[in-house]
Chain A
Amino acid sequence: MDWNKMLSKQVTDIPRSGIREFFDLATGSKDIISLGVGEPDFVTPWNIREAAIFSLERGHTTYTSNYGLESLRRAIARYVEEFFHVAYNPLCEILPTVGVSEAIDLALRCLLNPGDEVLYHEPCYVSYAATILMAYGVPRPVETSVDDLFALNPERLEAAITPRTKVLMLNFPTNPTGSVAPLETLRKIADICVKHDLFVLTDEIYSELRYDGVEHVSIASLPGMKERTLLLHGFSKAFAMTGMRLGYACGPAELIEQMMKVHSYTMICPTITSQEAAIEALQNGRPAMLEMRDSYHRRRDYIVGRFNDMGLDCHMPGGAFYTFPSVQRFGLSSKEFALRLLQVQKVAAVPGTAFGACGEGYLRCCYATAFNLLEEACDKMARFCDSLS
């Protein structure tokens, strides 16, 4: 078979995820401490798992509506209004999806015509560029830097806009930097979007994981933004439900309806088990969620302190469970540093370049790992840094 002829060029041209590459290397080694994960170290709280079991016990094993369970959408509407201060109609403005990843894919496919440009801030989650390409769009990353604490700089954003720009993707708190956008910055970004008639996809999957008592603000809640924003959220991070694969999109009914159409042909619906578990999460999951958040908070303070002590310059991330320390003073590339750290000290951290070219010089270290392992990882990294300087 001539696979060059057989396979879609659109797909074969998409590079493999840099994180995938590093995963293959790390999986080969034994006894490693991993700071390379992107998921909570908590098991889904028992009441939520029990709701999933109860759903199965009652024989709830069917498809649901393509819009998902109405009871779930009503619960989401209540939660979103209370948490994000934006009201959506559960009958036509909310779509439960298989994780936020599916929602991003659906939204881009429904918004883009071939050649339309999509702006997003880099370093960013690994799927953004690929998903834009798969929707025949043109990815246009806007670099962020430590000078702005990796929040999107409005001037740089505006400079990147062209007549073909249609969509802006945002992700605050950010994977991989843990950065958050100050309210003033969000307001400026919102003004730019209105001025240039851009549509906003805002991936706020980490929004509950904000620290230092700062309240999360969604761009969707700013004046004039609800009509041009698709708010994406889900259960994976705050409720430790990554494996349940459940997210949702909230936005204008016109877009949600088109997304539902693609969703109905490709996914049909998320599993009913996850949907019923998610209702329990929304109704009774808050105490467990706050406990997990406080635990991440303490670990963040610890790891950032240790990194700065050992010479890995690290800003204090305002959210998520990632740190993004700089390795620049050691004269190694991100990849070399991560590889040698893995080989010599058996600590896995992901090179910043996996999240975009401007991640060069940084590592993504996830602190959703047991405290004693974090301590051990920090001790090993400190020894490694000492050996380099």
Chain B
Amino acid sequence: MTQDALLKLLETDARLSDEQIATRLGMKPTEVASRRAALEAEGRIVGYQAIVNDDAEGVSAFIEVRCTPERGGGFNRLAARIARFPEVRNCYLISGGYDLLVMVEAPTLPEVARFVSEKLSSMEGVLSTATHFRLKTYKNNGLLFEEEKTHERLVVVP
């Protein structure tokens, strides 16, 4: 329960200090620190990043990749190879009409195209790709990108 609450707080604001978290959850700062360290060690907390609105810069594409699973390893080895490219921001194995959903970021459209044609499509085991370019982000990591100004409550009400 405490662990869930801790993760929830960090997912909302990863910059909260252990002291601030301790105050909010009614714990001791040292307890927060050790729980956080444990979560990091077991790979539950993978990292802490800023969520940047980069709609105005660069190009992002979602690429549907169909591939042949390997005997014994399934899709894992191929997926790991694809995921290592620095252009790849996210990579998921999913169910449905294709196998991997790969999100790619590059400064320009030709660079994305080059990545797809030269790196991804030519990889052994990749059967086909379908590339969808991002036009606009509405929500990312649970955050609305164009949040309306909050409606102010009255200062004193019964």
Interface residues of A (CB under 8 A from B): 17, 19, 22-23, 26-27, 32, 34, 36-39, 41, 43, 125-127, 175, 294, 298, 301-302, 348, 350, 371, 375
Inter-subunit contact B23/A32 (CB<8 Å): no
Inter-subunit contact A38/B158 (CB<8 Å): yes
Contact of A302 among B5, B23, B157, B158 (CB under 8 A): B23
Interface residues of B (CB under 8 A from A): 5, 23-26, 150-151, 153-158
Inter-subunit contact A298/B25 (CB<8 Å): yes
Inter-subunit contact A34/B155 (CB<8 Å): yes
Bound CA span A352–B158, Å = 12
Inter-subunit contact A348/B158 (CB<8 Å): no
Instruction: Give the chain A neighbours of B154 by CB distance below 8 A.
Output: 23, 27, 37
Inter-subunit contact A32/B25 (CB<8 Å): no
Q: Which residue of B lies closest to A298 (CB)?
A: B24
Inter-subunit contact B151/A37 (CB<8 Å): no
Inter-subunit contact A26/B155 (CB<8 Å): yes
Task: Give 20 CB contacts A-B under 8 Å.
Answer: A17-B158, A19-B158, A22-B156, A23-B154, A23-B156, A26-B156, A27-B155, A34-B155, A34-B156, A36-B157, A37-B154, A37-B156, A38-B158, A41-B153, A43-B151, A126-B158, A294-B5, A298-B24, A298-B26, A302-B23
Contact of A39 among B5, B26, B153 (CB under 8 A): B153
Bound CA span A375–B158, Å = 23
Bound CA span A26–B156, Å = 7
Inter-subunit contact A348/B25 (CB<8 Å): no
Min CB gap A115→B, angstroms: 27
Instruction: Give the chain B neighbours of A22 by CB distance below 8 A.
Output: 156
Interface-centre pick from B150, B151, B155 (highest chain A CB count, 10 A): B155
Q: Which residue of A lies closest to B151 (CB)?
A: A43
- Enumerate the 4 nearest inter-chain pairs by beta-carbon distance, A residue then B residue, closest first: A36-B156, A23-B156, A34-B155, A26-B155
Instruction: Give the chain B neighbours of A37 by CB distance below 8 A.
Output: 153-157
The binding surface of chain B is classed by DSSP as: loop
Instruction: Give the chain A neighbours of B25 by CB distance below 8 A.
Output: 298
Q: Which residue of B lies closest to A297 (CB)?
A: B26
Bound CA span A233–B96, Å = 47
Bound CA span A171–B26, Å = 29
Instruction: Give the chain A neighbours of B26 by CB distance below 8 A.
Output: 298, 301-302
Instruction: Give the chain B neighbours of A43 by CB distance below 8 A.
Output: 150-151
Bound CA span A371–B26, Å = 13
Min CB gap B25→A, angstroms: 7
Bound CA span A37–B157, Å = 5
Min CB gap A355→B, angstroms: 9
Instruction: Give the chain B neighbours of A348 by CB distance below 8 A.
Output: 155-156
Q: Which residue of B lies closest to A33 (CB)?
A: B155
Bound CA span A301–B26, Å = 7
Inter-subunit contact A19/B24 (CB<8 Å): no
With A298-B24, A371-B24 given, is the CB distance from A19 to B151 under 8 Å?
no
Other 5 A-B pairs with CB < 8 A, given A26-B156, A37-B154, A38-B157: A23-B154, A23-B157, A37-B155, A348-B155, A371-B24
Instruction: Give the chain A neighbours of B24 by CB distance below 8 A.
Output: 298, 302, 371
Inter-subunit contact A125/B158 (CB<8 Å): yes
Instruction: Give the chain B neighbours of A302 by CB distance below 8 A.
Output: 23-24, 26
Bound CA span A301–B151, Å = 27
Bound CA span A125–B26, Å = 30
Bound CA span A17–B150, Å = 28
Min CB gap A346→B, angstroms: 11
Bound CA span A2–B154, Å = 34
Q: Which residue of B lies closest to A369 (CB)?
A: B153
Interface-centre pick from B23, B150, B157 (highest chain A CB count, 10 A): B157
